Every structure is written in C-alpha cells, then in structure tokens.
Amino acid sequence: MFSEEITNYSWKETTEQIYAMTDADVRRALTKEHCCIDDFMALVSPAAAPYLEQMATLSKRYTEERFGHTMSLFIPLYLTNSCANSCVYCGFHISNPMPRTILTPEEMENEYKAIKQLGPFENLLLVTGENPAKAGVPYLARALDKAKEYFANLKIEVMPLKTEEYKELTNHGLNGVICFQETYNAARYNIYHPRGMKSKFDWRVNAPDRMGMAGVHSIGMGVLIGLEEWRTDVTMMARHLRYLQRKYWRTKYSVNFPRLRPSDNGGFQPNVVMTDRELAQLTFAMRIFDHDVDISYSTRETAHFRDHMAPLGVTTMSAESHTEPGGYATYPEALEQFAISDNRTAVEVCKRLKELGIEPVWKDWDASFDYKQQTI
C-alpha cells in the first residue's frame, strides 16, 4: 500500500531537493525522452521558470503524439451536499448551517435529462459529499444504474470506499473513480481535515490501491493547490502515480491540480497562491514526465487560461459545470461547492476548441470495450 511506500520519502528533504535544482538539472531533464522523479522535480522547480517556452513546446509535442488534436469533455453532477467531514476549505463542511440536499431518483433523472439538453455529453462525473449513511454504496449504485441509460462513461468522486465496494459499483457501470489526496503532507494533513473519515490520512492515500485491486478502469488523482508547498505535493503525487502504474499497469490515470482561490468573504485563505504561469509550468512538467496521463482542467480555471492551455498539454475538460446538487434542473440556486470561473456554455466551449484546431470528444470510452477485451 502507498501508505507504507510514502514513509520512504521525507517531506522536508523532498522540498530541499526541489529548491536545490539547478539550471543544468533542468536542461538535462529536457533532453530526456523518459523522465525520472528527479527530472520531474527539476521541471517543477523555480530553476525551470526560464524554460517555460521550451517546456510548452515539448508538452505540446507529446500531447499531440499520444492524444492527437482532441479534448475529452465531461460534466459533473453533484448528487448531494451533505457531508460528515469538516474540511476547513470547503463550504459543504458539517458545521456550516446550510440547507442540505440528497437528490431523489426522480431528481437524478431530471438532472440527467437536463444535462443531455446542454450537449451530447457521454462522460458523466457523479459527485457527493461524504455521507455514507444516506448517500452510500446502495445510493450510488442506484444513481449509476439510472445514469447508464443516458451516459456511456460513468465516474464518481465520492468518499473513499472498500475494495469490494468499488468492485460492486463496477457491476453497476462504474468506469472511473476520482479521489484527490488534497495534500501528501501527512504531518499537517489533519489541520485541514480535522474530523470524520477524511481525517484518516492512510485510508485516503490507499484508496487508489483499493481501486486498482478492484479493477477500476480509470483512477483520478489530485492535490489541492493552496494548502501546502505545491512543488512538494505534486512531487509526492508523481511518486504515487509511478507506484500505481507499476502495480496496476492496466489502469488509466488522470491528474488534476485544482487551485484554491483567495476568498473575499472571510472564508479559508490559501497558504500559497499558484500563479497561472506556475500552473502552466506544472502542466508541462507533468506531460513531459508522463506522456500518457490524462491532464484535466475544470471550470475553476478561467476561459482565457483554459483556451490558452488547451493545445499545450490538457486532455480533459469539464464544461458548463454546476457545483451545487441538482444545479442543472432541480435546485439551480443552491450553494456551490466552489465558484466557477469559466461560465461558458458547453456549446461555446466546443466552438472555441474547434477554432483552436481541437476536436471535442464527448465519448472516449464505452463499457462494451471491456467486454470485447475479455472475449478476444
């Protein structure tokens, strides 16, 4: 399990190593077809900042080689904002006296139908807070069963589950699971996640292992940028990615780097603010490090930045997202989990991608592929 592997790496030493990277280390990493973790550290280090153009060119080349000129589009649907955890940066935390909603089967279906009116979406991400009593595995199974009638590719972003629970959900059409570690700094993890199941670092960090053992087709990873030193966090994530790829080599992986933004209303303020330039550097570094990993940008990022990055390394984007439960049809006025920056419609996003020479892909996976593979 990765909880054991991660004890081999010191947070402090990793940070020192990244900041000790030199111009020569960056230049060496840029000449390599296959980068190691040390190379990745060089590419995310401050020493790589002057090489952004060169990194962009390489990242673009690798992306085109592996993915062509395409962008996979998905849409998230929040099923509930009820949550037993108290993550200090999230509006859905248990102590927030806000109305809580758990979509009923009828409401879910209305949402599925409303999404289909926005565009020919086939990639759906079902999202919940962590409420295993009321929105646990049986509830998710029902949501997937119904969603299968409308969408070809189903992913979830919910509480970490047991191996057998992931397995059970794959029988209901589940294709992928996203679970962000938020931060790999085990010593400070509980400052941000003080109670509930999310306070258990090992349980969370081992979730991708359990997904791999359950045979989940696609595993999504991420760190929340703004909690800890981002360069160290993404290096830990790169180690985690390599570890998983060695162990569960049939699985497809995706990464995401959501940025916490400073809040005007006295809410949680990020400890570190990552600039657009730094996010671009990280995106290029990840693509140069791993030519095959899906790199996903959400509508947290602005339209301008997403358009700029679309040809340079990003391979998956959400569009026209609502981050409140029932936001497409049932409760369009409810409190969002986080504010959207790119407010364009799916049709507008699509049109812009085409202008940029990128073909939007609504459906890039079908569960029947699994069946075909088994019968070949």
Contact residues toward ligand SF4 (CB under 6 A) are 83, 85, 87, 90, 92-93, 129-130, 198
- Of 100 and 239, which has the nearer Cβ to ligand SF4? 100
- Of 92 and 328, which has the nearer Cβ to ligand SF4? 92
Measured between alpha carbons, how far is 12 from 218 in angstroms, rounded to an integer? 31
- Of 195 and 252, which has the nearer Cβ to ligand SF4? 195
Q: Which two tokens stand for residue 209?
A: 């292992």
Phi, psi of 68 (to 5 degrees): 70, -160
Q: How far is the CB of 180 from ligand SF4 (least distance, A)?
A: 9
Q: How far is the CB of 51 from ligand SF4 (least distance, A)?
A: 35
CA atoms within 13 A on the CB side of 21: 26
Measured between alpha carbons, how far is 347 from 351 in angstroms, rounded to an integer? 6
Q: Which two tokens stand for residue 270?
A: 């990020």
- Of 96 and 117, which has the nearer Cβ to ligand SF4? 96
358 closest CA partner among 40, 71, 28: 71
Find how far residue 82's CA is from the centre of its chain.
21
141 closest CA partner among 157, 165, 123: 165
Q: How far is the CB of 193 from ligand SF4 (least distance, A)?
A: 7
Phi, psi of 127 (to 5 degrees): -120, 140
- Of 41 and 87, which has the nearer Cβ to ligand SF4? 87
- Of 86 and 315, which has the nearer Cβ to ligand SF4? 86
Q: How far is the CB of 87 from ligand SF4 (least distance, A)?
A: 3
Give the residue carrying structure tokens 């990873």: 221
Q: How far is the CB of 309 from ligand SF4 (least distance, A)?
A: 25
Q: How far is the CB of 191 from ligand SF4 (least distance, A)?
A: 13
